[in-house]
Structures are given as structure tokens and as C-alpha cells.
A and B are shown apart, each in its own frame.
Chain A
Amino acid sequence: MNYTWNWGIFLEPSPEGAGSYADMLLSGLAWTVVTALCSWAIAFTLGSVVGVMRTLPSRTANAIGAAYVEGFRNVPLLVQMFLWYFVLPELLPARLGAAVKQMPDAPFYTAVLCLGFFTAARVAEQVRAGIRALPRGQAQAGLALGLTWAQTYRAVLLPNAYRIILPPLTSEFLNNLKNTSVALTIGLLELTARARSMQEFSFQVFEAFTAATLLYVALNLVVIAGATLLERRVAVPGGR
């Protein structure tokens, strides 16, 4: 094989001057984590709202929720990324569009919004399934106790539903984490992008990608361990 291995490459200074290649990859890791967490905050909140809308006894709320989910689920993430980044600013009033484009770290904000709205559609489906899985008596009991619909959801239905859907939510969280790499197409310097720049600067393709692979695997393990802890922590004593 005419490939020259050089595992010492990580300690060599990167041409960006801000440290070694290892530092470059770690800064990418940090961007990946921050982007994933910020977009998850949007996805979880918005996804819960949309998911709840789809279980409400209102037709309009149902229709809006369904339209949201279908819209965001049936267009590839990469296309959505381009819509947010290239198309949206052009459709805004000229002044505002220009301001959006000149924002520092525009790729980061765009990626957070795009991933947040995209993942929200998936979270909504899980939340809906979780609420549907609950016995109907729970909502009826809540209402019979004199709780309003909002109180019933907040105090009775959602806490139970979230417990049921914790495993699928964990895997949506992991998907969201992996999906941050799509944002490299709009210039976000996350882990995959940094591995690619390292390859371009140093020409050590396989070392760079191996390191990125290991970092992603480690991130996954951390998330799974965290989710297991959380699951144990929130388990209802004696329940199931």
C-alpha cells in the first residue's frame, strides 16, 4: 500500500497557528457538542409542543401538528440546511437579510435552527406515541380532579410519556448529534469538517478520519451512559 502512516501528526502544529492538529480536532468536537445541545433544546421544546398538539381533541391543532411533521420529515436535512442558509435571507426584507448574512458565526446559528426544527419533527412523533401509549383513564382522571387540559398534560400525561419514550429520545439525541456534521456544507467547523481540514493540510487521510471516528464513538458512549443514569434516576419506584 503506497500510503505513509504518521501517527505523530496529531502533535504537529496545524497551519492555522492556534495549536496542534489535535487541538484542531478538539475544537471541532466542542463545536459539535455545543451545536448538538443548542439544537436539542429547540427540538425538545418545539417537538413536545407539536407532539402534544397532535394528541389534543382539536382538529386544527392536529392538522397543524401533522403538517409540521410531514413538512420537516420529507425533505432531506441537507436541503433544509440550504434553505435556511441560502434561501431564507434572500426572502427576508433586504436590510434584514443582509444583517442575517453578516452575523458572525452565521453557520452556527443557522445549523442550530435548522437541526432544531428538523429534529423537532422526530421528537414530536415520539411524544405523540408516548402520550398515546398511556391509558386513556389517566387524562380522564386528571380532568375529573378538576385539572385543566394544560394542567393535565403538565402534571400527569407528559411526565409519564417522557419516561416511556426515554430510550427512543436518546436515539433521537444521538441522531441529532451525528446530524451536526451535515452543517459542514454551510461552513460550520465541527468535528467532521475539522478532520477533513486536517486531511487537507497534512494529507494524512486515515489518521485524521480514525481520530474523528474514535471521538464520535466516545461521544456516543458518554451519551448512552448518561441516558442510562437518567433512566434510573427518573424511574418511578415500584413502577413497571
Chain B
Amino acid sequence: MLSYALRRIGGVIPTLFIIITLSFFVIRIAPGGPFDDEQTLPPEIKANLEAAYGLDKPLLEQYGRYLAGLVQGDFGPSFKFKDFSVTELIAQGLPVSLMLGLSAVLLALMIGIPLGTLAALRQNSPTDYGIMSVAVLGIALPGFVTGPLFALVFGLHLRWFPVAGWEAGEFRYLVLPVITLALPVIAYIARLTRGSLLEVLRTNHVRTARAKGLPERRVILKHALRPALLPVVSYLGPATAFVITGSLVVETVFGLPGSGRYLVQGAINRDYTLVMGMIVVYGSLTLTLNLIADLLYGWLDPRVRYD
């Protein structure tokens, strides 16, 4: 297992390298550049700027220099946020986004799994139908609908939580954004858990557990739920990707100073280094979470072999 983990971590580096290389060239293929703004710069100034950032060099050389910087942990300067390096921008925004995203995934697991379990245990009852209908809604409604709705109801009318904004360490600013972000994930996890648990409940080993005269609660929690969570764990990778992309909308709606906006703003502004920085960070995050998911398989089902 340890050697498997090490090998997988080793595998992350070539994967990241491919992601970086592809992204680097794809961004450059897109028309326009970081200094083609509303007010057109005089050609000399633009040339100077491009020289200052090394954009006048051949593309391959730029690529080599970027990689060389990256190896030393230097994401380069941002082209748009003057006086900021990409590292600084990410260091500012990422903690907020991470807090938001991880809270959302955790909340989704904490609510989605029990909801799905309840629905499975009360299969075809009003409880089941109720939970599954709400789940379909949760999946269907995008964050830019639910977010403002929550801000309106719980922020403006009920005044339970702030409508928007952020103060470091203030939990109440996180509540609405986290719920908005978690809702579709809760719904999806509940559906996955329900379906998979229903299947496991029909297996022979659950029948054995019942034949042993164990209370139904123990049969479910100890014998049935763990194998039923395999699909949920597989979904954690895509869920994280969803939360990352979803966080952009949620951060915008609730005015959170997260890093989600850097990806989109960076792309629109052709802020090459910022986009690349975000891609490296999100790419590493996704790869890490997939690795964690794969290692969790072994815990859920000892028959999974790591070799």
C-alpha cells in the first residue's frame, strides 16, 4: 500500500507535466494577448512590456523558462494584477476557496450519506420519494439560481446570515456559500448512496449478518454501508472538480475573495501566468483527491489490491 501510494505520487508529476504543457500551448494559441486592452497601447510601449515579461522570446524558450521557474516554485508575475506575483495572488485567494470547497464536500458527505441511507432503508416510502425528489431538484438547480435565492431569503429577509462578503475567520460568512455549493453534491451523494446500499442490502453477506441476529442498525452500519460507499468515493474526484468550478459562481455571488475568479479573469485577460498558476494548483488538487479516493477503496474493501 505504501509503495502503491509512492508510485501514484510519482505518477502525479508526469501527469501534471502533461497538463502544464498542453495548457501552456493552448492558451497561447488563443488569439489576443495580455496587453491588448480597451485602450490600445502605443506599439513601442507594448513592445517594451512584452520584452519585460519575456513575451518577445520564441514560444519554446518561454515554455522552458516557465518550467524552470515552476520547478523553483515561482509561478511568475501576474500580467494584470500589477505588482503582484501569481504566487501572492494564489496565496491570498486559495485558502478561502479551499475552505469553501472542503467545507462543501465535507457537508455533502455528512448530509448526503445519511440521507441516501435513510431513503434506501425506507425504499418506496414517502420519505424515500421526498428525499429523492429534493435530490433531483438539488442536482438540477445551478448555483447561480440557488445562491441569490438563499442570499435573498436567509440574508435579506430573515437576516440569519450576511448576504455577502468575507471577514477572515468569520464562520457566518461561509454558511450560505457552502450550502449553495454543497447542495448538488449532497443530492448526488444521496442518490449514489441509496442505489448502492439497496444493492448491498440484497447481498449474501448482509443476509448472514441478519441470520446472526444482529440489530438492523448494526447490520447496516457495520456490514452494509462500507461496501455501499465505494461509488461515493469514486465520485469524490469529480465532485471536487465540480466544487472547484462551482466555487467561481458562488464566490462571485457571495463576494468571496477566493481564487475561483482568478481562473476566469485570468483567461479573459490572457493573464497567461495567472491561468497557468491556477491550472497547476487545481490540477494538483484534483490529482491528490483522486489518489486519496483510490487509497480509500482499500479501506472500504480489503479485496482491492494495490499492485
A binds B: no
Interface residues of A (CB under 8 A from B): none
